[in-house]
Amino acid sequence: MKHGIKASVSGIRGVLGESLTPPVVLGYVNAYADWLGKGTVALGRDTRAHGPAVQGFVESVLMACGINVIDLGVVPTPTLLHFVRENGLEGGVVITASHNPIEWNALKLVKKGGLFLDQQDFEAMSRRFSDEAPAGLYKAAGKIGKKIQDETAVARHIETFVQKCNIQNIRLRKFRIAVDPGNGAGSRMDREFLVRMGCSVHMVHGEMTGGFSRPPEPRPDALTDLSALVVREHCQMGFAQDPDADRLCVVDELGNALSEEMTLALSVWSWLLPKSRKDETERSEMDKAPVVANVSTSRMVADLARYYGHPFVMARVGEANVLQTMSAAGAAIGGEGNGGVIYPAINACRDSFVGMFLIMDLVTTLREPLSKIVGMFHDRIAPRYAMLKDKIPVSGDLAAGMRKMRELFAKGGREIRETDIDGLRIDLDDGWVHLRESNTEPIVRVIAEAQTPARARELVALAKSALG
């Protein structure tokens, strides 16, 4: 970390005015511009009140480096990436701290093809960072970049769904949908997107106030208003997003908020389910592509892949890492258990609108209420798991803690399976636990999953004890 900033493939994140200061923003934006070299980038932001100030500084630095800027204003992160890809731009910058608290902000950096910088890209860019001698700033004197505004990004994103997805059956259902964008960037697109899907829309927390009227992370315990809206308006389901609309959490028709892990499971199930099947075992040869999820994702996704005869591949945490693994494996769908669905046919990133489409398509295909579909899933495909997510401050020797964790779990000759592509994950017959340093906060994350909450708590406690 430089200057208290959390810098990774997940972005340059910090508390505005403390770690995320003008010199730090200048240094990283200049490094990014120098890494790009030339061309045009898209620039967008979420709804945080300090977003316009940060954006003004970012675009000034980019233009001073000779980079042209297309200002998209407030847009979902997946919308900006879609715009970069569809228009062949050299890159983009999204000013958003995603699910982090309101006092945070961040720069998410995008390259050609509408892809986030991968680890190799990020390291190459970061080497150009400098406080004292900016590498590219003003070196293009007399070639200052231009700025234009474009209001078409949302409409273009929606049109891709219309052109590439079979939305007709969804439109015929005339769903009543409740949606909670959390006062975030989803407010720009939710209603228009769902109306194009043939839905009537009921919204809560849809005002772009500059703040958040509920916790920014769309987890079940934050969605009481959405659950009440679903029940009150007799909706078939409800959708909730984080401030930059790349994550999704779902509420069933009874007002039950499902875990964010369920978002990816239902979306993958929708894609795997043969739409023209005579029975549940019918397959097409083209539907044998691997399914990819990060190493902290519920076993439900691996269970799904196994049930339908598809390979399952684990990736490092971070959507850039997941997408890189998907590309290498030839996967058609994947994502992260935090509610992030990646479907490259539409977008090469986590996209909450992809999740909305796939889950509505699942309900349309199975012709059952969402609550019953969840029950069918657990009866047929995967048991009900209990997941516990904990975190502790970064301190001490993490590598030594992981060695101790191996010893604890292998005690008595117990058979364990290790995955060390990102921290350390240990799988047992009755559950798993994962220990890793966060990409977005100065913490160590400890995540466990088992078939009972008590066992999940036990696994977390054991892992934490290894760290002292």
Mean pLDDT computed over 366-392? 95
In sequence order, the 6+-apart residues with CB closer than 8 A to the CB of 159 are none
- Among 100, 130, 151, identify where a domain stops: 151
For 407, the token pair is 């010893």
The enclosing domain of 46 has a CATH number of 3.40.120.10
Query: Which domain CATH number covers 392?
Result: 3.30.310.50
Domain identity same for 436 and 368: no
Q: 429 with 375, same domain?
A: no
* 69 occurs within a structural domain: yes
pLDDT at 134 over 70: no
pLDDT of residue 393: 82
Provide the number of structural domains found in the chain. 3
Same domain, 261 and 335: yes
DSSP-assigned states of every residue in 348-388: EEE-HHHHHHHHHHHHHHHTS-HHHHHHHHHHHT----EEE
Average pLDDT value over all residues in the chain = 91
Structural domain of 53: 6-151
- What SS3 state is found at 39? coil
Q: What is the mean pLDDT of residues 86-107?
A: 96
Query: 1 lies in a domain?
Result: no
Q: Are residues 281 and 417 in the same domain?
A: no
Is residue 179 a part of any domain in this protein?
yes
Q: Does residue 137 form part of some domain?
A: yes
- Residues 60-82: pLDDT tens digits? 999 999 999 999 999 999 999 99
Query: Region 127-147: what's the mean pLDDT?
Result: 70
Same domain? For 353 and 461 the reply is: no
Same domain, 39 and 53: yes
Over 50: is that where the pLDDT of 1 sits? no
Inside any domain, residue 112: yes
Tell me if 84 is assigned to some domain: yes
Instruction: Please say if the pLDDT value at position 308 is more than 90.
Output: yes
Assigned token pair, 103? 């006092």
Tell me if 56 sits within 8 A of 105, measured CB to CB: no
| 79 & 185 share domain | no
Asked whether 20 and 127 are in contact (CB, 8 A), the reply is: no
pLDDT band at 286 (very low <50, low <70, confident <90, very high): very low
> Of the residues 151, 168, 193, which one is the last residue of a structural domain?
151
- Render pLDDT for 393-416 as a digit per residue (tens, 0 to 9): 867 678 888 888 898 888 877 888
- Domain boundary among the residues 151, 180, 199 is at 151
- Domain membership flag for residue 310: yes
Stronger pLDDT, 420 or 142, i.e. the higher one = 420
Q: Are residues 398 and 374 in the same domain?
A: no
Same domain, 27 and 91: yes
User: Both 21 and 123 in a single domain?
Assistant: yes
CA 194 to CA 46: how far, in whole Å?
A: 20
Q: Is residue 198 part of a domain?
A: yes
Q: Give the separation between CA 103 and CA 93, rounded to whole angstroms.
A: 19
Position 283 confidence tier, pLDDT thresholds 50, 70, 90: very low
Q: Which helix (H) or strand (E) holds 249?
A: strand 248-251
Task: Tell me, yes or no, whether 319 and 214 share the same domain.
Answer: yes
Q: How many beta carbons lie within 10 A of that of residue 330, not counting itself?
A: 12
Q: Is the dihedral of CA 340, 342, 348, 352 positive or negative?
A: negative
Domain identity same for 420 and 370: no
Q: Indicate the range of 337-351, 417-431, 436-450 predicted with least confidence.
A: 436-450
